Structure 1
Amino acid sequence: PNIIPDYAAARFYVRALDLNYLEDLCRRVVACFEAAAQATGCRVKISPAGKDYHPYKPVYALAELFQRNLESLGERVDQGPVDQELGSTDVGNVSQVVPTIQPMLQISPREVTCHMAAFAEAAISDAGQRGMLLAAKAMAMTAVDLLVEPAALPRVTSEFRGHPSP
């Protein structure tokens, strides 16, 4: 408690939904660390631990194909807010390079979220198995749609490149 150690280490994770804001925020956090080190007569060494998670870039035309296929399999789709931001995920990095969707199928009560033990139990349950198979079928059907529907792939590609879907 009143002993000053020779060495201390800490790990901090800085998150933001926008990369420009994240960059600015990181600069300010580093400035705080440097000011604290200067005020206490210490040295500070900052080592980035990993890569940034880029924001998720939705492609609504692709999501609509997937949703249509889920519905054709008898699944009732509750879209939820489309502007709701997700937590940090590397799917954002993928979505900057190729058209990407990140659909989620409900396999547990809504109050159970992905990082809870109850969700892990739901994932290995019959509901989890059903959800996985349903999602796999809908993804396969969506891939077929992109191959056989003349307008599907151009629409997805156009939206991904920054031109809204017609």
Structure 2
Amino acid sequence: MKNILLVDGYNIVGAWPVLQKLKETDFALARDKLVGLLAEYAAYTGYEVKVVFDAHMVQGIGKVYNKHRVEVIYTKKNETADERIEKLVIQLKRIDRTIYVATSDMAEQSLAFGSGALRKSARELAIETEIAAKRIDKMLQNTRKAQESSKIKLSEEVAEIFEKWRRGDK
């Protein structure tokens, strides 16, 4: 079963405190930070993640690109993120897929649910991304520890012998 997460980008930026604060000084950086957090989430969960931004906030209307395994979609002129997400739910809906829509917009949640998607609030997604980030950090720490413990400590004398062999000295 394939899981797909459709994210209302600006809704999440406006709902997550860390991104709210960032958007006040650098809107583009807040968008990029969201995409980065979603990329970690996608890597950890295996979800296919698509984040949709309303094009009225950016240039390059109707643009779609991939960044760190996340498909970033900017809507076309006169198209809202809600409308694009609704279309995506209908296009992507199949029996072997579970589609989640992440937004705190109650109207959008209802429409997505009515189209066959499952709802995920901004708060739920924030908690899940934090858990994923913590688990990724723990996995990295464990990997580093395993690498460090696999190194064999050699006496100075043995290390000198190995170094001579490496250089081809007798």
Higher fraction of strand:
2
Sort the TM-score into its range (normalised by shorter chain): under 0.3
TM-score with structure 2 length normalisation? 0.23
